[in-house]
Structure 1
Amino acid sequence: MEESKSGTVRAVDRALDILLCFTDTTDLGLTEIAEKTGLHKSTVFRLLASLEAKGFVTRDSSTEKYKLGFRIWELSVNLSQGDDPATILLPEMERLRDILGETISLYIRDGSERIRIQAVQSKHSIRRVAPIGARLPLYVGASSKVLIAFADMNTQENMINDWKEFIDISAYKDQMAGIRKVGYATSVEEREPGVAAVSAPVFNRSHQLVAALSVSGPLNRLTLENMKDHAGLIIESANRMGNMLR
């Protein structure tokens, strides 16, 4: 069994890389998967055959496209949800959405990215659509600022130093200090044109940062004044969420 330099099994790594291609799309062709993984088509074809045989992917014979298979859903049913913030905090997110009327998202940090692990969509016809599972950069956006500002100082320093080409480090550190002081962060068109967001930290009972609670929507509704007015409600909601967690 061939091992990679990191000590993991190369074939398993490659098979998992193929499955991870489906995090942001529902179906992919052989060529698309090869391009995403950087693997030869012949290697991808053999791995897909194994995954298909075990039910982890299925192939549509009419389009020659692959999709995730039933085994993925069988495994997901058995995920332990007792400590899963995406499940525990959903009712509070729905309550906040009903109060503010905007899209509510919950983010966690994974390395140098943030992941949206839960979302409740606004009921407005014009709204910010927030797909669950999306990975986004950490150096822009209200929730990113929260995940950095309230992280431990060692993590914060390491992250910020990696972004020298994207940010003014001195100004960014001052901004982080200001966010810690007021307890929330805002962003206006930092990642998407016409979109604004305000975010607050969710701490567990040990005061460890768990996630960032974010409210986002179009600029004509989420003005800077409105976000400042909403901040207290969002912080209160984030505090309630923290009390729900172990």
Structure 2
Amino acid sequence: MSTNAAGHGPWPEGYACVVLDTVDSTMAEAARQVKNIDRPTWIMAKTQTAARGRRGRAWVVPAGNLNASLIFKPEATAAEAAKRSFLAANALYQALAIYVPTEKLALKWPNDVLLSGGKVAGILLESSGQGPFVDWLSIGIGVNLRHAPKGVQNASFPPTCLADAGGGEVDPLDFLSTLADAYATQEAKLLRLGFSRIRDDWMSNAARLGEVITARTGREDVTGIFDSIDGDGNLVLITGTGPRAISAADVFF
């Protein structure tokens, strides 16, 4: 089944939308559909059978939550494309802030959104390209709107959902319309003002900025004061041996 977002709030000009009943994952579907798209396209599925998060981790998707991916062809290097995770995080923050007070929300580096200290949304980026620029970029977004996944063991940031935080019963397609509009605004900001503005907006809502956190890279744990993110999107920690820029890690408070 395919449809669009008409009747579900403002939809950004120049973007397409496809809604499916069931798919293995919206990221996999985005990769399959990339050769057919002529504009940035959101792909949403009511249910997914093989969703995944960062580093191949399973992403549990109860019915009523948002499962969506944006597939498009930016004129960007792989490093520039990777910065879109911050655009997506800013857009998610703005969309969620319509339903809950902003003091309940925070952005966790590199790509999660926290609601009252629990994980409410996650972002996953995939791209492909052999030359200096990526051929395509896909941004996968999962948001716990109505249900927090059950049975998640030993999570540092236990899953939570918008409904449990007083956000009400939000239709996934309504939320996608709000999110898509917010994301289009972020792309316009990037074009006109550059990544420094995206970075500043992200940092203004960052979790534990100025506090001691730990980044687990897979090779080591680095503990220090969360100072900033740099112009490449790296996490900058002030450690006992000086500043450290970390490109990939899991963060713990």
Per the TM superposition, whether the score is higher than 0.5 is: no
Q: TM-score, normalised by structure 2?
A: 0.23
Q: TM-score, normalised by structure 1?
A: 0.23
User: Larger Rg: 1 or 2?
Assistant: 1
Whose strand fraction is larger, Structure 1's or Structure 2's?
A: 2
